[in-house]
Structure formats: structure tokens, C-alpha cells
Amino acid sequence: MRKLIIGLTIAGLLTAPVLAQEVEEIVVTGSRISEYDATQTPHVVLRKRADNLLVETYVVCDTRDPAMRRAELKATLRSMIAAAAKDPSIELGIGEEIVGKVDETMIESLISSSSRVDTEQVTLLIKTRIGPADTLDGASQRIEDFVKKTPKSGRTEITTSSDVNLSIIQPEQYRGEVIALIAKDSLKSAAAFGDGYGVTAQGLQLPISWYQSGPLELALYIPYRMEVRPK
């Protein structure tokens, strides 16, 4: 087998940043997708299903009395948290780029004023795990069903955004798989030039990147550069 010369030194590998131990769930937003430029992305990608489908959700109450309005909002939020705890397909979260968990201790801090008079609201995420047989419609329907069956207190309403996002948990865990694909493709490219050629690959120390490649699919890659050269 031809030797793949990787543009990383052993010292570079040893000084690479240590991955965080806590599990991070990253949101693949529409803006991230719109910034994707195929001309700047290597053709070697690892395709995998996203971990979760997320929908931004708004819990809004316009009861005129402030104390009652806040009480109704809190009661509805408690109902959502309790319902999610009983439904293995649903979780509640917060965050725009990294998703955090929601629990009852956070209710007070989640409430904010609305642009409408005598109205307060909470913005959070409802997410559902994406299974091997899921479709976009099927996963979205689980979130819609959850919102419909959640008890609402007083004048509280729950609405959802028309946009859906995907998320990926600990994307750096796939680094080995991506590098293995790069190595295989690089050796194949070098072989096409004959026995006297090898390759160098630069940029393998860079973080994993990704873009949405299908309704529920992501493409993970490292923005490396490969060069075929004489040995």
C-alpha cells in the first residue's frame, strides 16, 4: 500500500486542543446552510442523519393582570416540561447555536416582555430525535402533536416557527471517520498518477464542519487541501 504523507507533525498532533468532555448539541441553522459554498468544500464528506429536528417555539400570554399573566405562563411551561418528561420522543431546549436543557428551575428566567402591550413570552426549542426510518413530515408531526396536546393555562398560547432546524451532537466524534475517508480518497488519487507519486494533506487539524445535504441529512467534512506530488 502506498504511503500517505499527512501534512501534520507528531508535535502538532500532541498539541491539538483537547475536546470538551461535556456533550454539546450544535444547531445547523438556515444561515449556516446559506453560507455553505460548494467551491470551498472538499468533495470528501461523511454523510449521516442529523440527531434531532428542532423547531423554535413561542409561549405567549396576554392576560392583562401582570401577576395572573405570569402565573398562567408558568403553569403552561410546567405542563410542557411535565409532558416532555413523559414523552420519550420530545425534549425541550434553549439556545441559538448550542442547545441547552430546560427544567423548572429556569422558568422565571425564561420569561421576557413582548413587543405587544400587556404581553409576556418565552422562546424555547422543541426537539425530537431523528430515527433511521423518519421523514421530515413525520418528525415535524410529532412536534405539532406535542404542542396540541399540551394543556394551556388561561390566555396562554403556544405557536411554532415555520422553519425547522437540525442538530448534531458532538460532531468532533466523527473526526476519525472523516480522516479515514480522506486517506482512502487521497491514496486512490495518488495511484492514478503511478507508483512514483504520493500525496500530502494539509488542514487535518481544523475542526469538523458540516452543511445540510438533505431534509434530515448532514454532510461532515474537514476543509483540508490535498496535493499529489512525486515521492
Q: pLDDT band for position 52 (50/70/90)?
A: very high
Tell whether the model's pLDDT for residue 101 goes beyond 60.
Answer: yes
Start-to-end Cα distance in the chain: 14
Show the domains of the chain with their CATH numbers.
5-49+170-230 (no CATH), 52-165 (3.30.70.600)
Tell whether the model's pLDDT for residue 8 goes beyond 80.
Answer: no
Say what the pLDDT of residue 116 is: 86
Mean pLDDT of 202-206: 92
Q: pLDDT band for position 231 (50/70/90)?
A: confident
Say what the pLDDT of residue 73 is: 97
Say what the pLDDT of residue 37 is: 57
- Of residues 159, 205, 207, 201, the one with CA closest to residue 183: 201
Tell whether the model's pLDDT for residue 119 goes beyond 80.
Answer: yes
- What span, in angstroms and rounded, lies between the C-alpha atoms of 17 and 1? 31
Helix crossing, 66-86 with 136-149: angle to 10°? 130
Structure-model confidence comparison of residues 125 and 15, the more confident one: 125
Structure-model confidence comparison of residues 97 and 11, the more confident one: 97
Mean pLDDT of 172-193: 95
Q: What is the DSSP letter of 172?
A: G
